[in-house]
Structure formats: C-alpha cells, structure tokens
C-alpha cells in the first residue's frame, strides 16, 4: 500500500458510502478511520467490501484529550511502519445541535467545538506528517452563503462574532440558535481552509467540500421530534430537484473527488466536486487569521505564523 487516507465521519450517511467507495476503488491505499466505535466500524466495512486495508482509532472528536491521543497513535503507527505514509485527510465529521447550550468535554460550544476546533487541532497535530502529493478535504456547507437559494429558508444565515465568543456555549434554547451556529461553523471551516492553504507545504492541497443538500444523513438527529418529522417529510422531496442528491450518490462523489484529478487550486471551495466561488463574506483574511490565532490559544498550541 502506497499511502494512508485519514478520515472522520465514516460511520453513517454519505460518509459511510464514501468510506466504502474509497475501499472499493483504492486497494493500494490504507483507510484509517477516527470513530467512537472504530472496531465495530472496521468489522462492518471489511464485511461489506471484502477489503482488509482499513483500520481505526477510537476517538471522540468532542474531546481534545481523545484527539491528542489519536494523533499520537497515528504518529506511532507511521513511525513503526504499521501504516503507509499519510498523504490525505477527509474531514467529514460534523454535527448540528438543536441549541447552543451543550458543550464539549473541554467546555466549548459543541457545534463550533466539533465542526471547527476538532479539525483545527487534529490537522495542527499532524501538520508535519502529511507528505506530498497530498489532499486535505474538510466538508463544509452551502448554508454559509446565508441566502434562500442555499439554505432554502431552513437554516438562518451565519452570524460572525469574535472567535472566543463563538466557542462559548450560549444560553438560548431556541432551535434557530443551533441552526445559526451550524451555518456559522461552516463559514469558519472556509476560513480555516484558507488559513491552512497559506501554511501547508507545496504539494499538499486543502479544500472545502460542499456536498449540497443530502437528505437522510442524520444531521437533524439532535432536533426535537416535530422538527425531525418535518425534515423526514420535506427534505426527501428535494431529491426530485437539482438541489439535492441521496447519500449514495453524494458519498460516491465525495470519495471520487478525494482521489481523482486535482479539483482546483489549494484553498478552493468545491461544490459537489467543482471549484466555484464561495460567499463574499468567506473571503476575509483578517477573520481567517483571527480564527487561526484564537484556535491556537484555545487548543494550547503555538500560532504557526505564515
């Protein structure tokens, strides 16, 4: 096997399909999964695909201690030759909470903690481990645009604030607070990708990937029963339009974008695999650098200037 693909969010929905697709189409690459129930996931993937080139490390992305332990274990496996060189990362894990009142193990607002800080910490800890040619893909969302065309009126527009404030749990229990936090976290993902693109070595590209609307991924599982029922009825109808696709098609496309020809310049925003402009608000170097610096402080890491 020539290289390793590290992946989060491979347990369900389009991520599960992408993991199976990677195993089916990339027999010369090792798929290393970070998951809370990694052993079970590996067994299921091996049974499903008949491939043995997959392993896992147990990790809860809502815990900095787990992320640090996982990064240390990845380094050990690389150093001892248990897995081939690390070239690629697919950050598919993400969540949308009903409110902003829940916290990670480290006291950060859960949506921002998992969608943004977990990716930041993991990639920073592995920064020197990626070898060229490499590709880092972090899944974003079109809801960062904040327009009806992209959020269909279901998710409020993002509302940026000082990064330290975004990382704090809120007090509002209204469901709109949780959905707005989700949109804001996906704007932050783009800022993180832009900041990474300025720092990664030549030959290691980084992208934000927008899978489009994908009903059936379980993203609204933290919502209340009424919202879940409504989503179960309304969202599948969008599959009849060009705005959405099912998890099977979306997962295959994500995997193929991960391993296919270079999809665009490093730092680009990919809408279902094609480079397109992200929102005007997503191009703000001052915000990008603020996110980088504050995230470093929150994660107890040096800033790593450009």
Cα–Cα nearest to 77, from 64, 86, 87, 68: 86
pLDDT in tens, 200-240: 999 999 999 999 988 755 444 444 543 444 444 444 544 44
Q: Please, what is the average pLDDT of the chain?
A: 91
pLDDT in tens, 243-296: 568 899 999 999 999 999 999 999 999 999 999 999 999 999 999 999 999 999
pLDDT band at 68 (very low <50, low <70, confident <90, very high): very high
Mean pLDDT of 140-146: 95
Mean pLDDT of 56-77: 98
Q: Using the 8-state DSSP alphabet, how is residue 85 labeled?
A: P
Upper half-sphere CA count for residue 267 (Cβ side, 13 Å): 15
**pLDDT score, position 1:** 63
Query: Residue 156 in contact with residue 180, Cβ under 8 Å?
Result: yes
More confident residue, 173 or 73: 73
In order of their start, the domains of the chain are 3-298 (3.40.50.720)
pLDDT band at 136 (very low <50, low <70, confident <90, very high): very high
- Measured CA to CA, the distance from residue 223 to residue 179 in angstroms comes to 10
């Amino acid at each position: 096997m020539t290289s390793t693909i590290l992946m989060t969010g491979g347990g369900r929905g389009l991520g599960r399909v992408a993991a199976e697709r990677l195993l089916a189409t990339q027999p010369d690459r090792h798929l290393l999964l970070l998951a809370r129930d990694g052993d079970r996931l590996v067994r299921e993937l091996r049974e499903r695909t008949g491939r043995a080139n997959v392993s896992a490390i147990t990790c809860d992305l809502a815990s900095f201690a787990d992320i640090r332990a996982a990064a240390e274990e990845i380094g050990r496996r690389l150093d001892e030759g248990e897995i081939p060189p690390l070239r690629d990362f697919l950050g598919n894990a993400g969540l949308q909470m009903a409110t902003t009142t829940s916290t990670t193990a480290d006291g950060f607002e859960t949506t921002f903690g998992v969608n943004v800080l977990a990716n930041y910490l993991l990639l920073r800890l592995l920064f020197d481990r990626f070898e060229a040619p490499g590709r880092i893909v972090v899944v974003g969302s079109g809801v960062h645009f904040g327009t009806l065309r992209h959020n269909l009126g279901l998710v409020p527009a993002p509302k940026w604030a000082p990064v330290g404030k975004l990382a704090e749990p809120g007090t509002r229990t209204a469901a709109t607070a949780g959905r707005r936090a989700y949109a804001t976290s996906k704007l932050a993902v783009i800022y993180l990708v832009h900041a990474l693109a300025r720092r990664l070595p030549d030959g290691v590209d980084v992208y934000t990937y927008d899978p489009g609307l994908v009903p059936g991924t379980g993203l609204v599982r933290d919502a209340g029963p009424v919202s879940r029922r409504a989503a179960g009825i309304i969202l599948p109808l969008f599959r009849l339009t060009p705005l959405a696709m099912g998890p099977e098609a979306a997962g295959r496309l994500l995997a193929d974008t991960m391993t296919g020809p270079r999809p665009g310049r490093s730092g680009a925003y990919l809408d279902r695999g094609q480079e397109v402009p992200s929102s005007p608000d997503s191009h703000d170097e001052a915000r990008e650098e603020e996110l980088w610096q504050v995230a470093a402080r929150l994660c107890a890491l040096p800033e790593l200037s450009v």
